[in-house]
Amino acid sequence: MSQKSLSPEAIKYDSGVAWKALFQAAFYLENRYAAGERANVLSMTNIQYQQDEQRWSSLMAAAQHGNERDYEQLLSELCTFIERYLRSRIGSHQSLNDWTQDILIAIHQGRHTYNPKRAIRPWLFAIIRHQTIDGMRRQSAYQKMIERQIEQTTCTVNEGYSEIEEPLIEGYLFKALKQQHREVLTLTKINGLSSREAARELGISEVNVKVRVHRAIKQLKKLLESDSDE
């Protein structure tokens, strides 16, 4: 069998092809691995999701029969879940604890309305959404928060603006709002300024501030709804 000698160009060409094939194989394997990992993570998340769903549902059913221990476990789990949920969406400011507690109280007051034959998440998210928006509308809570923050930072409301706003930026739902909506919400609902003061700060009319606040809350509510639907 005669061996055919290869020219340097042919060797160069062949090695180029080999490297290309090697890279392609590596990319292919990497992609397969990543896809496999993703699939694993997704299936794990899905399993976790279903496990949570079933466990919470059965714990709530037990709570409806008066089982204190199961109810305490459920509320503890929900407390962690709600805090994490709100922190990731709205940001980690100080009202978060108040809102979480309000939501727990609402869950307690409405526990008789949960039907154990149905999924618990739609019921739970309806309460979370409503309480969060309601909490945002309650001026007094914000005022208290501002007072606490002023005590901590010992600066004036206006000076503390950027520091107060900072944690809000963490919440991706806040990021999704328009700049003008974020501004007006931060000034009125977080910094506790009146509509007139916010109007002066932004250089717009008082009516315009009210309209923007209304639209911002409406938009945030929509975002929360679509987010929890996902």
Partner 1 sequence: MSSQQQLIKSLAAQLKPTSPLMNNNLLTLLWVLGSVLYCLAIIHLLGPIRDSAYSQLLTEPRFMLEMFTGLTAIVLTSVAAFRHTVPGALSGPVKMTARVAVLLWIGLNIYGLFNPAIEPSTEGYRHYCVFETFLYALPPLLIAGLLARRRMALELTPTGFSLGLAAGMIPAWYMQIACMYAPEHMLKFHLLPAIIVAVLGALLLKGIAFFNWKKPGSQYTPKQ
List contacts with partner 1 (CB under 8 A): 63-69, 71-72, 75-76, 79, 97, 100-102, 104-106, 108-113, 115, 121-127, 130-131, 134
State how far the Cα of 13 lies from the Cα of 20, in Å rounded to an integer: 11
- Shortest distance, CB of residue 101 to partner 1, whole angstroms? 6
CB nearer partner 1, residue 104 or residue 202: 104
Min. distance of Cβ 51 from partner 1 in angstroms? 20
Nearer to partner 1, 60 or 193 (CB): 60
Residue 38 one-letter amino acid:
R
CA pair distance 101, 56, nearest whole angstrom: 18
Contacts for 57-63: CB closer than 8 Å, 24+ residues apart: 57/116, 57/119, 57/120, 58/116, 60/111, 60/114, 60/116, 60/120, 61/116, 63/111
Cβ distance to partner 1 smaller for residue 46 or 115: 115
CB of 80 to partner 1, least distance (A): 9
Nearest CB to partner 1, comparing residues 75 and 157: 75
| Shortest Å distance, C-beta 154 to partner 1 | 24
CB contact at 8 A, 167 and 93 = yes
Please provide the size of the chain in residues.
Answer: 230
